[in-house]
Structure 1
Amino acid sequence: MQKKNKITMSDIAREAGVSQATVSLVLNNSRAVRLSDDTRERVFVAAQKLGYKKIAVAHRQEGQEEIALLLCGMDGYDPFIDALSEASSTAWQRDTLLTVYDYGDDFEMARQIIQQLAGRKCAGVILASPTTRAFDFSPFEPLLNVPVVLLNQYDPARPLLPTFLPDDRANACQIVNHLLEQGVTRIAHITGDEWMDASVLRLEGYRQTLEQAGIAIDEALIKPTDWSLNATFNATLELMKLPQPPQAIFCASDWMTLGCYQALATLNIKVPDDILVCGYDDQRIAHQLTPRLTSVQLAYSELGRMAVAYLCDGDDVATHVRLVGKLQVRGSSQRT
């Protein structure tokens, strides 16, 4: 078995001029996503040029064991791509192939994929979602005769089903505690869609931390949005027009902080001199903003590794993991 190569899927994506998601799907031999032959060839050529040793993962060897990851859709900028990349590497290190199938939340397509898997040497199935969500496993149960784990989704009716999730509530607590340590108490929270688990849990973490600190929650400081820049821009303007504007703003994603920064610049309010700002999910944009953005990592890489290791290592003990990410403190939340 080959040692782990230093060349990453991000390197290949830049060389081939495609998204990292496309590279992952091509090298993992996804059969459910329609990609042109030209795109696939560009990815293979780029991988070979850079000396990516795991390119063989895209060509199934007869009799080699595989893990199937069924995914209900994602885009190339989703932080969940980290889970796919790490899951693929972890499987390869264990002499196992990870194959990604994107069924786009179409159960009939997923059923057909699982039926095809029945005739192959499959070590297990990972049912995954790029968005943390509740998931009804019952339609899949009669189709699967191999071990299964859930990644970034959970079935409330089956708490013993092996499940691997990010701890959005605890991550939000980290951010709010950090802001409190900076000496601010009026902390606003701009949320995403109210129906999404990610929004609900991050808001719960925000509320919980303030309550534990003995700070009364001002509902005027909580602004629901649809995750968009425009909605975040407007929410920030509304917050700054309050009789008592916030001393800090916690946005529910790094992407949303673009709208927040733009609104503050329009009002000639400087970060962090006049107000502190934090994001969430620690994407590349966090390093590109000025000042650089304080954010918290989603532990998707580790969750992807754990899901594959659970299947490969044959652990029979049921598990339900919620993994806390790492807070990355940068200039946007620290006054000089």
Structure 2
Amino acid sequence: MEKKNKVTMNDIAREAGVSQATVSLILNNAQSIKLSDETRSRVINTAQMLGYKKIPSPEKVDGQEEIAIIINAMPSYDPFVDALAQAREAAWRNDSLLTIYDYDDDIALALRIIRQLEQRSCAGIILASPITRCIDFSFFDRCTALPLVLLNVYDRAYPLQSTFLPDDYANALQVTRHLINQGARRIAHIMGDDWMDASHHRLSGYRAALEHANIPFDEALVVKTNWRLDETHQATKKVMQLSSRPDAIFCSSDWMTLGCYQALAEMEIKVPQDILIAGYDDQRIAEQLMPKLTSVQLPYAELGRAAVEYLCQGEYISTHVKMAGKLQIRGSTQR
């Protein structure tokens, strides 16, 4: 009898036409992110159809034993790891110990963790996410007397809640301005998931840079994807087949540029001789591509350190930090 391959979240994402991140949020019963009921139903139905076995029940079971993982090194490929590293060092400098818990969008689990922290000597809580996004903070509002700040997440309904965020608008603005300064006039923008506010903030920064340079906005040059390489590959070919094709492409993540580079190579279009390419978030891969990729470095290290120092200072005045990153200019935008 032939052995069936294990169904993965990537399989479900491919069949449902969404990103793996979206599948993960839905299958983990994430209620703190705003996704449409249609998308949730489509992913769950697809998972059931493919025979995925780990579709959790909405009901949580109390009284579970606690299992702790003590990890001595975080993976280094995700830029948000910089926030954790600097937060740990800032806590150490302030005679505090930073502990990290992964609640995986399980609100009930997060609240149980907070209740345990209330029984110990805890100076404050940082509610964080590796993906910049809007959450429903009402689950956490007034659940604890401990000081609580938001790192890389926010809720518009709680304007007084202290938050520490990267400035996606300003970052996209400086990437697009750099491409314009390099002589580009038809700049394509390949977006990520439409449900992410960060995608729209980057689009707004891109449009603002064009407006400041008196360059007309062309909708045909903007393509929405869901972060997958095959979609970036298709989006790149789509804009390069326009009658008036772009002279630069701004991708919403460094990871997406892999699909972009591949499509251009298939079309025998050279980077940077024929077209300029810029990414976003300055992952390690940016230094390893040929040519090396121009990208904007997200200020996660500074934000993680600032969030810890805010809690350690003991004066909890509402504060909102939005910080731009640093543009790293490399060969992909230098003719």
TM norm. shorter chain > 0.5? yes
In structure 2, the partner of 1:59 is none
In structure 1, the partner of 2:158 is 158
User: In the TM superposition, what is the alpha-carbon distance from 1:260 to its structure 2 partner?
Assistant: 0.4
In structure 1, the partner of 2:146 is 146
Q: Which amino acid aligns with 1:332?
A: S
Give, in whole Å, the separation in 2 of the partners of 1:88 and 1:316.
Answer: 20
Give, in whole Å, the separation in 1 of the partners of 2:99 and 2:298.
Answer: 23
Unaligned runs of 5+ in 2: 1-64
Q: Which amino acid aligns with 1:157?
A: A
Give, in whole Å, the separation in 2 of the partners of 1:321 and 1:136.
Answer: 19
Mapping for residues 223-238 of structure 1, pairs under 5 Å: 223-238=223-238
SS of 1:100's partner is: coil
In structure 1, the partner of 2:302 is 302
Closer, same or farther: CA 307–241 of 1 in aligned 2, 3 Å: same
Give, in whole Å, the separation in 2 of the partners of 1:141 and 1:109.
Answer: 15
Contact 2:147 2:316 in 1 (8 A): no
User: In the TM superposition, what is the alpha-carbon distance from 1:138 to its structure 2 partner?
Assistant: 2.0
User: In the TM superposition, what is the alpha-carbon distance from 1:146 to its structure 2 partner?
Assistant: 1.3
Give, in whole Å, the separation in 2 of the partners of 1:177 and 1:119.
Answer: 51
In structure 2, the partner of 1:185 is 185
User: In the TM superposition, what is the alpha-carbon distance from 1:78 to its structure 2 partner?
Assistant: 2.9
User: In the TM superposition, what is the alpha-carbon distance from 1:33 to its structure 2 partner?
Assistant: 7.3
SS of 2:101's partner is: strand
Contact 2:77 2:284 in 1 (8 A): no
Mapping for residues 75-114 of structure 1, pairs under 5 Å: 77-114=77-114
Contact 1:165 1:323 in 2 (8 A): yes
SS of 2:124's partner is: strand
Give, in whole Å, the separation in 2 of the partners of 1:236 and 1:138.
Answer: 40
In structure 1, the partner of 2:196 is 196
Mapping for residues 28-47 of structure 1, pairs under 5 Å: 35=69
Question: Greater relative contact order (Cα 8 A, min sep 6): structure 1 or 2?
Answer: 2
Contact 1:32 1:101 in 2 (8 A): no
What is the RMSD of the two structures over their aligned residues, measured on CA atoms? Answer: 1.8
Give, in whole Å, the separation in 2 of the partners of 1:32 and 1:312.
Answer: 28
Q: Which amino acid aligns with 2:260?
A: C
SS of 1:101's partner is: coil
Closer, same or farther: CA 107–76 of 1 in aligned 2, 3 Å: farther
Deviations along 1:34-79, whole A, 9 cap, x unmatched?
65xxxx6xx66xx8xxxxxxxxxxxxxxxxxxxxxxxxxx987432
Q: Which amino acid aligns with 1:137?
A: F
Mapping for residues 1-336 of structure 1, pairs under 5 Å: 35=69, 77-335=77-335
SS of 1:95's partner is: coil
Contact 1:299 1:325 in 2 (8 A): yes
Give, in whole Å, the separation in 2 of the partners of 1:212 and 1:94.
Answer: 44
User: In the TM superposition, what is the alpha-carbon distance from 1:32 to its structure 2 partner?
Assistant: 7.3
SS of 2:127's partner is: strand
Unaligned runs of 5+ in 1: 1-30, 48-73
Contact 1:171 1:205 in 2 (8 A): yes
Range that drifts further, 79-88 or 241-250: 79-88
Please give the TM-score of this superposition, normalised by the length of structure 1.
0.77
Aligned residues between the structures = 271
User: In the TM superposition, what is the alpha-carbon distance from 1:204 to its structure 2 partner?
Assistant: 0.8
Contact 1:33 1:101 in 2 (8 A): no
Give, in whole Å, the separation in 1 of the partners of 2:122 and 2:257.
Answer: 42
